[in-house]
């Protein structure tokens, strides 16, 4: 198959793409004033338009190339430009472009379900497909509610999740999300979504800062406390990421998930491992619960399943949760037209073939310490407070004072992240994330294909931009 990689710079109407984007495209989580013209009070910046990708590099419409330090959006595990995946999509579209999973099935979804069940730990054998992570989270909450209704505990409907965590944007998933600013415009949301502290050890309560294990037990016990407070007969599920993305890559302290599993079992509450980011090699295994040694009741996943070459997500549930749906007239009255789309499922199969054939999980497990060491090398900069994460997934927390760990206030953070860092990093050739949904952090989640020379390249770009940031402060 020959693939045309030529680039157009105008729409079919002859309008420059940047102009048409400004006038017609509604960006996701996008502050549009940045792109509005200065005549109307905007900043007059051009929307960055990315036209091509190859390996870990992307190119914009002006021909400039950048290091994709975020794998698009924590997604492109195998790197850009993999023609095998384009070919898998074309072959599937030619054979059967679309058919739903509503009482019917198609081979691509069946093959993929069997494969995901084999990767998943324990008896997580039942795969419900979605088009992305938020829908998977939404599905998991609905399943938890219906499961308890079907098994004689209809009052169990509430969910517990962690502060600052992001779990998606549908109303249910957004209720589980712990970022007040993302929720406020849409309130009232779904009732019954309770928050507990996250596992950010760098900002652990003072008395726990020298003992990560004790901190992990403390954080896990906040879940037990919330269940007690709400009443175990009202709580259905706990939603946790293996490594929490939002807030800047909080890994679980040693012993944390062991204690959480114990708590969930003792109160009969389901443990949902939201692996939208962490699955498919991001941490080093197909499912990150394996990296941290726990077996959840449900896994939610998406992104890296297809490396983003086509949209797909999944909720993978245990046999126990599926059992009541095997009988009589019962069904899970829930679904999406494009859930488990044949083209996406075929692409996911080809993507998983690549991950296996190229040993990407082993690569991440082997090279992660070298990646971390490169980033740790930035700690001499007076703005770098913490470097944390796991696998190929790291956050660098920026602080005003490394001794006191004093953070930037809202205005300073706005000036630093939006006013300077995001743009400066991109101009320096690094696409990554500068985020202040918790304390200010830079986040990295590159394709899993990179190695030591690229770690050094990332660290070099970060060093020069962060040095400049220090001078500006
Ligand atoms: C942990 C987690 N859950 C859910 C979502 C939502 O996924 P999607 O954007 O595919 O709906 C995300 C997105 O980044 C995520 O990181």
How remote is the CA of residue 165 from the centroid of ligand 1, in Å? 10
Pick from 315, 375, 303: nearest CA to 101: 315
Q: What is the pLDDT of residue 41?
A: 86
Q: What is the mean pLDDT of residues 403-419?
A: 89
How remote is the CA of residue 20 from the centroid of ligand 1, in Å? 28
> Which ligand 1 atom is the nearest neighbour of the CA of 303?
10
Question: In the structure, what pLDDT confidence band is assigned to residue 419 with cuts at 50, 70 and 90?
Answer: confident
Q: What is the pLDDT of residue 5?
A: 59
- Here the tokens at position 363 are 């690569």
Strands 158-162 and 235-240: parallel
- Pocket probe mutation, ligand 1, options 70, 73, 132, max atoms within 8 Å of Cβ: 132
For 113-134, give one letter per residue: b (16+ CB within 10 A) or e: bebbeebbbeebbbbbbbbbbb
> Which ligand 1 atom is the nearest neighbour of the CA of 278?
1
- Pocket probe mutation, ligand 1, options 134, 161, 348, max atoms within 8 Å of Cβ: 134
Residues with CB under 6 A from ligand 1: 132-134, 137, 166-168, 241, 245, 274, 276-277, 302, 313
- Pocket probe mutation, ligand 1, options 70, 168, 272, max atoms within 8 Å of Cβ: 168
How remote is the CA of residue 168 from the centroid of ligand 1, in Å? 5
Question: In the structure, what pLDDT confidence band is assigned to residue 37 with cuts at 50, 70 and 90?
Answer: confident
> Which ligand 1 atom is the nearest neighbour of the CA of 313?
10
> Which ligand 1 atom is the nearest neighbour of the CA of 277?
16
Residues in the chain, total: 473
- Pocket probe mutation, ligand 1, options 166, 305, 313, max atoms within 8 Å of Cβ: 166
How remote is the CA of residue 160 from the centroid of ligand 1, in Å? 17
| pLDDT tens digits, 285-296 | 999 999 999 999
Report how far apart, in Å, the C-alpha atoms of 155 and of each of 115, 143, 182, 195, 240 are. Answer: 35, 14, 28, 19, 22
- Pocket probe mutation, ligand 1, options 249, 302, 315, 443, max atoms within 8 Å of Cβ: 302
Omega cis (within 30) before 293: no
Q: Whose CA is nearest to atom 7 of ligand 1?
A: 133
Share above pLDDT 70 across residues of the chain, in percent, rounded to a whole number = 99
| pLDDT tens digits, 176-231 | 999 999 999 999 999 999 999 999 999 999 999 999 999 999 999 999 999 999 99
| pLDDT tens digits, 72-87 | 999 999 999 999 999 9
395: helix, coil or strand? strand
Asked whether the whole model's pTM tops 0.85, one would answer yes
| pLDDT tens digits, 52-73 | 999 999 999 999 999 999 999 9
- Enumerate domains of the chain plus CATH numbers: 48-78+360-472 (3.90.1150.10), 84-357 (3.40.640.10)
How remote is the CA of residue 174 from the centroid of ligand 1, in Å? 10
Report how far apart, in Å, the C-alpha atoms of 423 and of each of 428, 429, 430, 441 are. Answer: 8, 10, 10, 15
Q: Is 257 exposed, middle or buried (0-12, 13-18, 19+ CB in 10 A)?
A: buried
Pick from 458, 394, 451, 453: nearest CA to 429: 458
> Which ligand 1 atom is the nearest neighbour of the CA of 302?
10
Share above pLDDT 90 across residues of the chain, in percent, rounded to a whole number = 92
| pLDDT tens digits, 329-374 | 999 999 999 999 999 999 999 999 999 999 999 999 999 999 999 9
Kindly tell me if the per-residue pLDDT of 1 is higher than 60. Answer: no
> Which ligand 1 atom is the nearest neighbour of the CA of 245?
16
| pLDDT, averaged across the chain | 96
């Amino acid at each position: 198959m020959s693939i045309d990689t030529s680039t157009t710079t105008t729409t079919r109407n002859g309008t420059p793409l940047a102009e048409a984007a400004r006038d017609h495209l509604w960006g996701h989580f996008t502050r549009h004033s940045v792109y509005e013209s200065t005549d109307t009070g905007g900043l007059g910046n051009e929307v960055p338009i990315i036209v091509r990708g190859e390996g870990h590099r992307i190119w914009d419409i002006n021909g400039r190339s950048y290091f994709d330090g975020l794998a698009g959006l924590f997604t492109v595990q195998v790197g850009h430009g993999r023609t095998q995946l384009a070919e898998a999509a074309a072959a599937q579209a030619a054979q059967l472009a679309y058919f739903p999973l509503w009482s019917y099935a198609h081979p691509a979804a069946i093959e993929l379900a069997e494969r995901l069940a084999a990767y998943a730990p324990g008896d997580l054998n039942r795969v419900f497909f979605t088009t992305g992570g938020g829908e998977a989270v939404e599905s998991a909450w609905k399943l938890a509610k219906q499961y308890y209704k079907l098994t004689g505990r209809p009052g169990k409907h509430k969910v517990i999740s962690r502060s600052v965590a992001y779990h998606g944007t549908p109303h249910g998933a957004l209720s589980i999300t712990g970022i007040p600013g993302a929720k406020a415009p849409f309130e009232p949301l779904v009732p019954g979504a309770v928050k507990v502290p996250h596992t950010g050890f760098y900002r652990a309560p003072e008395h726990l800062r020298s003992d990560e294990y004790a901190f992990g037990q403390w954080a896990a016990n906040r879940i037990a406390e919330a269940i007690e407070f709400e009443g175990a007969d009202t709580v259905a599920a706990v939603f946790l990421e293996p490594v929490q993305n939002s807030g800047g890559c909080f890994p679980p302290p040693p012993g944390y998930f062991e204690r959480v599993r114990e708590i969930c079992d003792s109160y009969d509450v389901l443990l949902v491992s939201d692996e939208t980011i962490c699955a498919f090699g991001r941490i080093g295994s197909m499912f990150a619960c394996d990296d941290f040694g726990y077996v959840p009741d449900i896994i939610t996943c998406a992104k890296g399943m297809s490396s983003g070459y086509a949209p797909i997500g999944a909720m993978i549930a245990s046999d126990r949760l599926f059992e009541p749906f095997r009988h009589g007239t019962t069904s899970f009255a829930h679904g999406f037209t494009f859930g488990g789309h044949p083209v996406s499922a075929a692409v996911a199969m080809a993507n998983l073939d690549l991950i296996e054939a190229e040993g990407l999980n082993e690569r991440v497990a082997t090279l992660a310490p070298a990646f971390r060491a490169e980033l740790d090398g930035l700690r001499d900069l007076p703005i770098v407070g913490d470097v944390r994460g796991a696998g190929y997934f790291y956050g660098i927390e920026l602080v005003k004072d490394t001794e006191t760990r004093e953070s930037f206030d809202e205005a300073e953070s706005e000036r630093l992240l939006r006013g300077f860092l995001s743009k400066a990093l991109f101009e320096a050739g690094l696409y990554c994330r500068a985020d202040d949904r918790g304390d200010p952090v830079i986040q990295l989640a590159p394709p899993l294909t990179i190695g030591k020379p690229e770690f050094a390249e990332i660290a070099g770009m970060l060093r020069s931009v962060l040095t400049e940031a220090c001078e500006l402060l």
